[in-house]
A and B are shown apart, each in its own frame.
Chain A
Amino acid sequence: MARQIGDLEKAALDLIRSRNGSILQSDLWKELGLDSREGSRLVIRLVKKGLVKRETVSINGRKTYRLFVVEQTAKTAPSLTVDLKTVMDVPCTTCPYIAQCGPGNFYDPATCAWLDSWLEEKTGRLRLRTPQRAF
């Protein structure tokens, strides 16, 4: 599984976090006691897992990367902040034909029977199904 994080990667992430979430790649491998080859392989692994982002910088004419931790809190807790209470009351919300519905179409908001009965219900005019006599 690509999700598992090794000890070295964890140490690297902790180190970056302790530097306010960004560090130079060259500082990272020096502080972890690795050589530059191991360091860059480690960083590539982190980038592939989406844990770290990097951008090119040049320090004293030498190219290196500045690394940033990607915080993933927002991703792990999806929640619905849109209030669906009002809209759930309208039959169109749960209508499977909403995409085909429009003026002049087979499904038309003007003549829709579901909207008819919703309106009747809302206005307290729900008709008796059996015909009534006037006298």
Chain B
Amino acid sequence: MNGTNSSNGHDLSGLEELLYRLASNKGIDPEKTIHIFRLLLQNTGQKGLSDEDLESLTGYRQGEIRKILRLFYEIHIASYRRGRHPETGATRYYWKIDVDTININMIRRKKAVLEKLRKRLEYEEGTTFYRCPNDGSRYTFDEAFEYDFTCPKCGSILEEDDNRPYIEVLKSTIRKLEEEIRRDEARIYSS
């Protein structure tokens, strides 16, 4: 086995940061996630590692390991192969990182985020909002109408909210992402 603990000089730090944050948002130990990711990466090109192999390599609980593998699977950076245990013949799943498609799948994720932002922009542009001047809570026109344009928490009169700054932020982020995705795709499909 070559390579040590770090990512073997490959630049995957951006991906590792994504995994780290995703794991913490899911309530999975982020350090363990990165550890498993690096172990799998070192074994790419071989037959892959089963959850039991990973358990004996790391000492983490199998439940944790499966959660982490599932996380990888959900964002399409790892895949598994069904195999048999060499001695007992029980079904085993051998996992590896799909290094060849990492970039394409990261573009996919970016596109998914872009889609959410577009939906949000649509909503912000098509809705009138009211805001409580006291506590800053925001209501749509329908909600405000139901409360007779008074704040249900403190009773003060609601004011019409100017959401142009929101629209501006959304638009500029969307523009930036579209531009980035175009450049990424040109780079990846040309190489």
Contacts and interface: CB of A to CB of B under 8 A. Distances in A.
Contact of A134 (B112, B113, B134): B134
Contacts, number: 120
Interface stretch (B53-61, B82-90, B180-188): B180-188
A102 B10 CA distance: 35
Interface residues of A, number: 43
20 contacts: A77-B9, A78-B10, A78-B12, A78-B99, A80-B15, A81-B103, A81-B188, A83-B14, A83-B184, A84-B14, A84-B18, A86-B176, A90-B173, A92-B113, A94-B21, A95-B25, A128-B136, A131-B135, A133-B134, A134-B134
Contacts of B97: 78
Main secondary structure of the interface of B (DSSP, over half): helix
A115 B169 CA distance: 12
Interface residues of B, number: 53
B12 A96 contact: no
Interface in A61-97: 74-90, 92-96
Contacts of A96: 22, 25-26
Contacts of A86: 173, 176-177, 180
Interface string A118-135: 010011010110011110
Given A90-B173, A95-B25, A119-B170, A127 B136 contact: yes
B175 to A, nearest CB: 10
Contacts of A99: 74
B112 A98 contact: yes
A69 B10 CA distance: 24
